[in-house]
Structures are given as C-alpha cells and as structure tokens.
Amino acid sequence: MNTDRRPTLAFLIPFASRRTKSRWDIACAHLRQTLKSVQNSTSESYCMVVAGHEAPDFKIADARVCFLSVDHDMPQHEDAVVSGRLDKLAKIAAAWNYAKSRWNPHYLMKLDADDLISSRLVQWLENFGREPGYLIEHGWVWRSGSAPCPPIHRVFGPSMCIMFDYWK
C-alpha cells in the first residue's frame, strides 16, 4: 500500500480544442464521464491533469483534478489526423510536466477524454505495482450494445501505466 503522500497514479488527459469539435457539448459530456470513471476508484491515491486550449463547460470541483490551460498554436499539417496527434502529444507533454512538478506521482497513464477505467485499477496499482510499467490488454468498447473487444492496445493504441521515475 502507498504510505507516502505521493499519488499512486496520475492520469494525463489531453482535451481537444473547441475549434476542432463540431459538438462541444458531447466532447464535454464524454470528459465528464471520464472524470467520474476515475473518481469512482476504490482508492483515492490518484490525480488527474486535463490539458486543453479551452476549459470544459462544467466546473471541476475536486482537488485531485486540475485543468491545465495550454496556449500552443494548433499544429498545422496537410493531414488533419497528424495535426490532431501532434496537438494531443503536446498536451500530454504539458500534463506530464505539470503532474511531475505538482504531485510527483509513482505512475502515469494517458487517458483520452472519452475513456473509462476500472474502479479497481488505482487500488491494484497501489497494492501490487512494483514493475516499471504495465500494458493493459483487456477492456471494453463503450457503445450502445457494447461487446468485449480484442486487446485494447491493438485497437486503440497503447493503454499502459508507466512508472514516473523510470525515465530519470
């Protein structure tokens, strides 16, 4: 069990700009569900950094959650997908630096603003986390009529928890 005051896990959540979303209300609703998913954890040893150009349309009233305003220019690339990925990477990097300086957590995990996690993830990591990192291979795709999906890291890219101090 984590006996120091450092959070076990920091969730880094890049939040797309309002300028890139045709339905800002839906993007904000998804983010709210993501935050609630983490807040439903059986352990409170976590923190979250939501990094975005604009704050969501709801108030975040939890000391373990921070909205980090970023002001970098939107990446320009002929391929809109590449521009979106570059923007996401810049937000993850900003969230990483902020989490390190404010909380110095043991592990970090990137979540998209529409992801959900198991309520037992933080508790498991707090009790058993000893490795430099963990790849999460099983999960669900959340859609109406959701069904189990193949290993999620093969469908959506890596879902992993990485020890913060591993890259000193």
Place of tokens 């373990």: 64
pLDDT of residue 144: 47
- pTM, full prediction: 0.87
Structural class in CATH, domain 9-167: alpha beta
- Contact 43/8 with Cβ under 8 angstroms? yes
Q: Which of 21-25, 74-78, 97-101 has the lowest mean pLDDT?
A: 74-78
What is the rounded average pLDDT of the residues 134-150?
Answer: 63
Give the model's confidence band at 37: pLDDT under 50 very low, under 70 low, under 90 confident, else very high.
very high
Lowest mean pLDDT among 36-45, 87-96, 126-135: 126-135
